[in-house]
């Protein structure tokens, strides 16, 4: 089950790095977005490994749409929930995508001649 949430980035927390039991390096960074609803909510989510590089290109104040997974796990009788973003799209601006060749940006198509604009207003 994949979910999407849209909001404004209000905080980026420090990056955490480590090495797994298998000896593989990992990195994680959390960020907070505030939804743009009648009653705004703040949601803290994280990105892992190569997605941390993606987050570096997103600024506090940017409006983003994050595709995310929510997962809970039990540890010593307590439950912990992780909200992990697996894709982040900057709204009204560049899309940031992480591919095998690195991070790419695609700007929204802009029409330089307003006379050819086909909008009804």
Q: Give tens-digit pLDDT for 32-84.
A: 999 999 999 999 999 999 999 989 999 999 999 999 999 999 999 999 999 99
Q: Give tens-digit pLDDT for 21-46.
A: 899 999 999 999 999 999 999 999 99
Query: What pLDDT is recorded for position 52?
Result: 93
How far is residue 96's CA from residue 89's CA, in Å, rounded to a whole number? 6
| SS3 annotation, 53-111 | HHHHCCCCCCEEEEEEEEEEEEECCEEEEEEEEEEEEECCCCEEEEECCEEEEECCCCC
Query: What pLDDT is recorded for position 1?
Result: 55
Model confidence at 92, pLDDT cuts 50, 70, 90, reads confident
Classify strands 102-106 and 78-90 as parallel, antiparallel or unpaired.
unpaired
Domains of the chain: 3-108 (2.40.50.140)
């Amino acid at each position: 089950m994949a979910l999407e949430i849209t909001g404004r980035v209000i905080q980026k927390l420090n990056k955490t790095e480590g090495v797994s039991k298998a000896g593989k390096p990992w990195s994680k960074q959390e960020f907070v977005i505030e939804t743009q609803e009648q009653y705004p909510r703040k949601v803290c989510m994280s990105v892992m490994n190569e997605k941390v590089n993606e987050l570096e290109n997103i600024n506090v104040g940017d409006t983003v749409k994050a595709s995310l997974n929510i997962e809970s796990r039990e540890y010593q009788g307590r439950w912990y929930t992780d909200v992990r973003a697996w894709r982040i799209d900057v709204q009204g601006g560049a899309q940031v995508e992480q591919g095998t060749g690195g991070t790419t940006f695609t700007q929204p198509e802009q029409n330089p001649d307003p006379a050819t604009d086909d909008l009804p207003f």
